[in-house]
Amino acid sequence: MTILFVEQDFARRRMVKDMLAASGAVSVEVRGAADLAGANDGGISLAVVEVESDGDGLTAIERLHQLGVVRPTIIALAQDADLIQPSRSLGADEVLVEPVSIATLFEAIGRHLSPA
pLDDT in tens, 32-81: 888 887 666 657 888 999 999 887 899 999 888 777 665 668 999 999 99
According to DSSP, residue 39 is labeled: G
CATH code of residue 101: 3.40.50.2300
**pLDDT: which is higher, 55 or 112:** 112
Alpha carbon 22 to chain centroid, angstroms: 18
For residue 69, what pLDDT is reported?
62
- Residues in CB range of 100: below 8 A, 6 or more apart: 77
For residue 95, what pLDDT is reported?
97
Rounded Cα distance between 73 and 15, Å, is 22
Supply the pTM of this predicted model. Answer: 0.88
Percentage above 90 pLDDT, the chain: 36
- Whether residue 16 contacts residue 7, with contact meaning beta carbons closer than 8 Å, is answered with yes
Count of domains observed in the chain = 1
Four-residue CA torsion sign, 34, 62, 87, 54: positive
**pLDDT: which is higher, 57 or 26:** 57
- Residues in CB range of 22: below 8 A, 6 or more apart: none
For residue 104, what pLDDT is reported?
94
Domain housing 39: 2-24+31-113
